Chain A
């Protein structure tokens, strides 16, 4: 790569692939070869650039010329443009949605300028199927540093000092989890990466696995070294075939380089991992359900009180379970130090947050900001505001376990504690923007429908309670609401929260609780006036 005059980077994330970027990549390669001008020009596939809405995307390096909505027909012109004397293609530039001015370079686009990318930094730059691309940007240096220069306890201290909290949603301090797993008695321990990204409206874990799979693998190997595990699993949703393939390739390459397997980097430390494909059950994001699923059972959570997974996890052995993004942060923390990581974020939520920004917002895509950035910054500065001159109504975070915050709360900082205080949760990173054309009762109905379908059926409050809540909400959206429905929803919410055995049940009423708290008038309009203010519900 170093000798190349220029590189044409073709995004191969799921979004761009759906727009035909695989064909574009192949056509570029073929055309370049047959033209005989391939000297000094390389065509590379990369992971997700994050600006999926503008895909398929191409970036021409070293200058960072940015092309959007590329078609296979554009290939001959793109080739001409990178040859000596060629000119950039005006028609493929990104256009500012307000001024309609063309923005020629990647680093000048507002969507990117306002972000701070650390985990996502190299997604979109490196070829995820080439381990050399990863090592060229310093990949696996952290592993080498950890194994050669640090004790397992030293690694854990570094992770603790960084202040990183689990990025799967709950925000448990990762260092403390690692420490308790290391201290748990037992010779056999496991490291598991939770990549069962089940929240509808979230795809940040998928993009990290597709764009930079080695970063996740490296983080897991370091974790295994720290806690003393010799076997690991990545639990990936079966709905993510591209991520599965990229991880498989990456694991194989890491084995060939001696980074996985026996005596890693000629040390005494041995560790290997495999991929386990989930089979489509949202509840398997819960640690004990995930563990049972790998063991070949129905993925039903264990009832409390029970030992923590760090003490009794897979096959009753101590098991460290972290999210994709948590592991992807580890190499950065080890390489740059805990202080570097802790510089970003707020007092209690360190580092960055990755969000899938979707819904009624101008710029949809994958974003990364320091913890504590405001919703306003995310929606307006990065997201470009609400399309069609409409106004913002609500922001949904945390998926089916989270809540909807009203437009008035747009200045709250986005971190674990502020969101929880407002009644929502950080979740794994879905952020869905809703405008005046979105009906909040319909949204609550939608999430309860989801939770009702995904309830594992084990405990009665969740199995029957979510169903009752759904039926009441369904009636309300069909103009069949009754006086007293709101009280009933409120009582059901409280008892489901109190008596369900796992996190899915305990959080299942959240979408109703927050919409009742902030959008009570919409419920009233449906029940009392038989009217849907947003015009979404048919009311019959």
Chain B
């Protein structure tokens, strides 16, 4: 099924080298991450070495080579968020869902990450849960948001 996806995506491109980033973005959007096999297929399609595809995929923060959790929690670490308490929010969420920054839970329920800036600085500190932004966070609100969530049986993996 993954292969079908990748083939279908590649079919809409011309095979030019400058299409690499958009291809990686589309594949990741559909599969949630970039499996090794997909990167090899993309390399073959563009006529470049696999190492080139991996070098680009590993350069940009957006790309990931491991699967993501169903719920993606991103804590903004922009300047406005930082001085209004983002580190405290991150700690609270780490405790609530038993994950460290950059980790995905073993059952693929949660991924916890930080992002450079969501651009909602007037509502700092803010977090993003999947596509939704929640602003004016406090440690209490964060705790409430993730109450009773997260797995406590370990087996987390890092990025």
Of the listed stretches B76-84, B92-100, B150-158, name the one at the interface; the rest are far from the partner chain: B76-84
- Residue from B16, B61, B79 within 8 A of A280 (CB atoms): B61
- Complex-state Cα separation, A450 to B120, whole angstroms: 18
- Complex-state Cα separation, A51 to B121, whole angstroms: 11
- With both beta carbons as reference points, the residue of chain B lying nearest to A50 in the complex is identified as B122
Does B133 sit within 8 A of A, measured CB to CB?
yes
In the assembled complex, how far is the CB of residue B53 from the closest CB belonging to chain A, in whole angstroms?
Answer: 10
Does A1 sit within 8 A of B, measured CB to CB?
no
Does A399 sit within 8 A of B, measured CB to CB?
yes
- Complex-state Cα separation, A19 to B135, whole angstroms: 8
Task: Chain A residues near B77: list those with CB within 8 A.
Answer: 200, 450
Q: With A298-B55, A299-B59, A359-B80 given, is the CB distance from A279 to B123 under 8 Å?
A: no
Q: Are A238 and B79 in contact (CB under 8 A)?
A: no
- With both beta carbons as reference points, the residue of chain B lying nearest to A203 in the complex is identified as B119
Interface residues of A in 9-64 (CB under 8 A from B): 14-15, 17-19, 51-53, 55
- Residue from B22, B63, B80, B116 within 8 A of A358 (CB atoms): B80
Q: Are B62 and A359 in contact (CB under 8 A)?
A: no
- Complex-state Cα separation, A198 to B21, whole angstroms: 18
Task: Chain A residues near B31: list those with CB within 8 A.
Answer: none
Please tell me the number of chain B residues within 8 Å of chain A, measured between CB atoms.
40
In the assembled complex, how far is the CB of residue B116 from the closest CB belonging to chain A, in whole angstroms?
Answer: 5
Q: With A18-B120, A298-B56, A365-B122 given, is the CB distance from A201 to B78 under 8 Å?
A: yes
Task: Chain A residues near B18: list those with CB within 8 A.
Answer: 294-296
Interface residues of A in 287-329 (CB under 8 A from B): 293-300
Q: Are B17 and A202 in contact (CB under 8 A)?
A: no
Does B9 sit within 8 A of A, measured CB to CB?
no
Return 9 A-B CB contacts under 8 Å, by A number. A18-B135, A52-B123, A201-B79, A201-B117, A277-B21, A280-B60, A298-B55, A443-B82, A450-B116
In the assembled complex, how far is the CB of residue A200 from the closest CB belonging to chain B, in whole angstroms?
Answer: 4
- Residue from B79, B81, B133 within 8 A of A14 (CB atoms): B133
Q: Are B82 and A446 in contact (CB under 8 A)?
A: yes
Does B115 sit within 8 A of A, measured CB to CB?
yes
Q: Are B83 and A359 in contact (CB under 8 A)?
A: yes
- With both beta carbons as reference points, the residue of chain B lying nearest to A399 in the complex is identified as B79
- Complex-state Cα separation, A17 to B83, whole angstroms: 23
- Complex-state Cα separation, A364 to B126, whole angstroms: 14
The interface bits of chain B over 15-43 (1 if a CB of A lies within 8 angstroms of the residue's CB, else 0) are: 01111111011000000000000000000
- With both beta carbons as reference points, the residue of chain B lying nearest to A243 in the complex is identified as B119
Q: Are A52 and B122 in contact (CB under 8 A)?
A: yes
Does B10 sit within 8 A of A, measured CB to CB?
no
- With both beta carbons as reference points, the residue of chain B lying nearest to A300 in the complex is identified as B59
- With both beta carbons as reference points, the residue of chain B lying nearest to A297 in the complex is identified as B56
Give A residues with C-beta under 8 Å from B: 14-15, 17-19, 51-53, 55, 197-203, 206, 238-241, 276-282, 293-300, 356-360, 364-366, 396, 399, 430, 432, 434, 438, 443, 446-447, 450, 454, 456
Q: Are B25 and A238 in contact (CB under 8 A)?
A: yes
- Complex-state Cα separation, A239 to B117, whole angstroms: 8
Q: With A18-B133, A399-B79 given, is the CB distance from A202 to B21 under 8 Å?
A: no
Task: Chain A residues near B61: list those with CB within 8 A.
Answer: 279-281
Does B118 sit within 8 A of A, measured CB to CB?
yes
Q: Are A434 and B83 in contact (CB under 8 A)?
A: yes
The interface bits of chain B over 80-109 (1 if a CB of A lies within 8 angstroms of the residue's CB, else 0) are: 111110000000000000000000000000
Q: Are A279 and B133 in contact (CB under 8 A)?
A: no
Task: Chain B residues near A52: list those with CB within 8 A.
Answer: 120, 122-123
- Residue from B59, B79, B81 within 8 A of A298 (CB atoms): B59
- Complex-state Cα separation, A19 to B126, whole angstroms: 12
Task: Chain B residues near A276: list those with CB within 8 A.
Answer: 21-22
The interface bits of chain B over 40-75 (1 if a CB of A lies within 8 angstroms of the residue's CB, else 0) are: 000000000000000110011111000000000000
The interface bits of chain B over 120-144 (1 if a CB of A lies within 8 angstroms of the residue's CB, else 0) are: 1111101000011111000000000
Q: Are A281 and B59 in contact (CB under 8 A)?
A: yes
- With both beta carbons as reference points, the residue of chain A lying nearest to B28 in the complex is identified as A279
Q: Are A200 and B116 in contact (CB under 8 A)?
A: yes
Q: Are A293 and B83 in contact (CB under 8 A)?
A: no
Task: Chain A residues near B131: list those with CB within 8 A.
Answer: 241
In the assembled complex, how far is the CB of residue A492 from the closest CB belonging to chain B, in whole angstroms?
Answer: 22
Q: Are B117 and A200 in contact (CB under 8 A)?
A: yes
Q: Are B17 and A295 in contact (CB under 8 A)?
A: yes
Task: Chain A residues near B118: list those with CB within 8 A.
Answer: 14, 239
In the assembled complex, how far is the CB of residue B51 from the closest CB belonging to chain A, in whole angstroms?
Answer: 12
Top 8 nearest A-B pairs (CB, nearest first) are A201-B79, A280-B61, A52-B122, A279-B60, A18-B133, A200-B78, A358-B80, A364-B122
